[in-house]
Amino acid sequence: MSRPRAALRRRIFPVGIAPIALLASCQAPAPGSPVIGGPARTAGAAQAAQAAPTPSLVTEAERTGFQRTGRYAEVERLCPAFEQAYPGRARCIRFGTTPEGRPMLAIAASDDGALDPAAARAKRRPVILFQGGIHAGEIDGKDGGFWALRELLDGAMAPGALAATTALFVPVFNVDGHERFRRNQRPNQRGPEEMGFRTTGQNLNLNRDYMKAEAPEMRAMLALLDAWDPVVQVDLHATDGAKFQHDVAVIVEPSAPHPGGLDAAARELSEALQARLSALGHLPLPFYPSFREDDDPASGISAKPGPPRYSQSYGAARNRVGVLVETHSWATHAARVRAVHDLLAALFERAAAGAGALRAAADRADAAAARLAGAPFALTHRAGPVPRIFPFRGYAYEKRASEISGGTWTRYDESRPEIWRVPLFDRIEPDLTVTAPAAGYVVPAAHAAWVADKLRLHGVRYERLPEARPGVAVEAFRADAVAYEPSFEGRTPVKLKGAFRPERQDLPAGSLFVPIAQPRAPLVMHLLEPLAPDSLVAWGFFNAAFERKEYMEAYVAEEEARRMLAADPALRAEFEARLRDPAFAKDAKARLDFFYQRHPSWDERVNLVPVFRVAASP
């Protein structure tokens, strides 16, 4: 590069950043070069494509020295432009439509035409999906992803990677949020000048929606995941929080033990990415840099894995490697885009040499998950109580009394780098562990239609009972206590106390049987176990089951209670024992309810979760 251009780079960009437009070639293959795979073309169409001018693949971010990012119209322009610039090696895909009517777009890239799910499956081609803009204000993934994809196709990044894998790039997941575009969306982030918003047009956070799958955008994404089945799923964010020197965090899941040893493959990938990013001049972290107490580095950091409402943990629940990338919001947009680019370079360099190992690891996890029947499975994990000290690169800071908030105010001094000795709680232990049912789960017919819709979205196999099955031996979960939580993501979550106990239940025709013997068994348990934090129960889909719909008036209960006491000495003894509890003794409603719940008119379905476990296929 000439000196004037080098001077330009030093003047506009921070260390390590160069104008992408000056670094990457955008030219299409030479006329007459063979096109392998992809849709067939007529000779006339091929000649027209060769004669057409090469479209510009330069982004608004590049044109403005990373001061701005493009509107969604840029994605709509670049998606077909990549297909035109790299015929037979790139394909623009529309995989959904947002509630506001915008197209959801992805670009597939492969050196040998494995540009649709069928072609990738036929070649047993590992697919690596990377997505930007799930939170549309955190838009580094879009700009860095376009840069990386162009270099992959030009051979400037990870030569051979697209012969070993198919890349699938979603520039912006939250499209409608992206177009809620203005300044000052994220006051705790440096650039770009304008950006989109965190949530969708329906005010849903897509990175809380993977399990409940209510947003139309998420339903489209789950269909894309099910069709392409990526072995690695990368979600590109910018993090919030304290000011510190580390510029990127890369969290790879599963980090806890997983069927088939998938956690070992994830750990190996994590170590490789950390090493490569360090070699490229970054200060990476392998955990999410959020303190256990806000604004207090001394409180430490917990590295426990999150529930599958989050992208990286959802990937793990599907027996695939999930990667969460968090560039640091206080770095400039240019530096964050560079971090995204270099992370993708490190990933595809690794894939070029080890794509087959990633495919094999996913296959082993699928096979092991299908054999989980009767085995313990951890649905949640906690960080152990004993930390290790981690040398965290921060800045000098002080806490002052604030006349504004009346509390304390943390002020960071970015001119004074420091090493913080932070307690890191990264020894992961199982928390909520369940035993997988011997055969599977049954959902009664009344809930079969909507539950089946959720299962289909997640690629879970199920069967419908062709006829009624009376008196089936099941395990049923009856809630002993029900606690509703504040509204969250448009739902009323619920926490239950209780356990599965043996019962017999009549199963109507049309009920669903969900076998545990399938590769998606971990996902099945996350969806259907009532105590799992992201289950359909926990998200409030079954809340009507915890509501009383019939009543006994107090004067009737008084009469019935006397008859019941006269007829049943054991009941009288039980009632008298309860009266020794002062709170119960002075609660007239609770005393009458004691008899109503033991009366033949009591609705036995109250607090009965309509999901049963079975030891044999019904």
pLDDT digits (tens, 9 = 90+) for 512-527: 999 999 999 999 999 9
| Spatial CA neighbour of 536 closest among 447, 475, 433 | 447
How far is Cα 576 from Cα 341, in angstroms, rounded to an integer?
72
How far is Cα 112 from Cα 359, in angstroms, rounded to an integer?
18
Half-sphere exposure of 456 (CA within 13 A, CB side): 10
What average pLDDT score do residues 421-436 get? 97
Segment holding 396, helix H or strand E = strand 388-401
* pLDDT tens for each residue of 487-504: 999 999 999 999 999 999
Q: How far is CA 393 from CA 11, 243, 244, 337, in A?
A: 27, 10, 6, 21
Q: How far is CA 490 from CA 215, 233, 246, 454, in A?
A: 11, 26, 35, 17
* pLDDT tens for each residue of 162-193: 999 999 999 999 999 999 999 989 999 999 99
What percent of the chain is predicted at pLDDT more than 90? 87
Cβ count near 490 (within 10 Å)? 14
| Omega within 30 of 0 (cis) for the link into 297 | no
Strand order in the sheet with 301-302: 301-302, 408-425, 388-401
| Spatial CA neighbour of 435 closest among 497, 516, 490, 373 | 373
**53 pLDDT tier (thresholds 50, 70, 90):** low
* pLDDT exceeds 60 at position 209: yes
| Spatial CA neighbour of 183 closest among 174, 173, 192, 175 | 192
pTM, full prediction: 0.89
What local confidence, expressed as pLDDT, does residue 25 receive? 30
| Average pLDDT across the chain, whole number | 91
Number of residues that make up the chain: 618
How far is Cα 428 from Cα 418, in angstroms, rounded to an integer?
28
How far is Cα 381 from Cα 374, in angstroms, rounded to an integer?
20
384, amino acid identity: G
* pLDDT exceeds 60 at position 70: yes
Q: Which residues of 580-594 are buried (b: 16+ CB within 10 A; e: fewer)?
A: eeeeeeeeeeebbeb
* pLDDT tens for each residue of 354-384: 989 999 999 999 999 999 999 999 999 999 9
The answer for residues whose C-beta is within 8 angstroms of residue 583's C-beta and 6 or more apart is none
β-sheet bridge partners, residue 32: none
What average pLDDT score do residues 147-165 get? 97
* pLDDT exceeds 60 at position 27: no
User: Is the four-CA dihedral 301, 304, 306, 312 of positive or negative sign?
Assistant: positive
**1 pLDDT tier (thresholds 50, 70, 90):** very low
What percent of the chain is predicted at pLDDT more than 70? 91
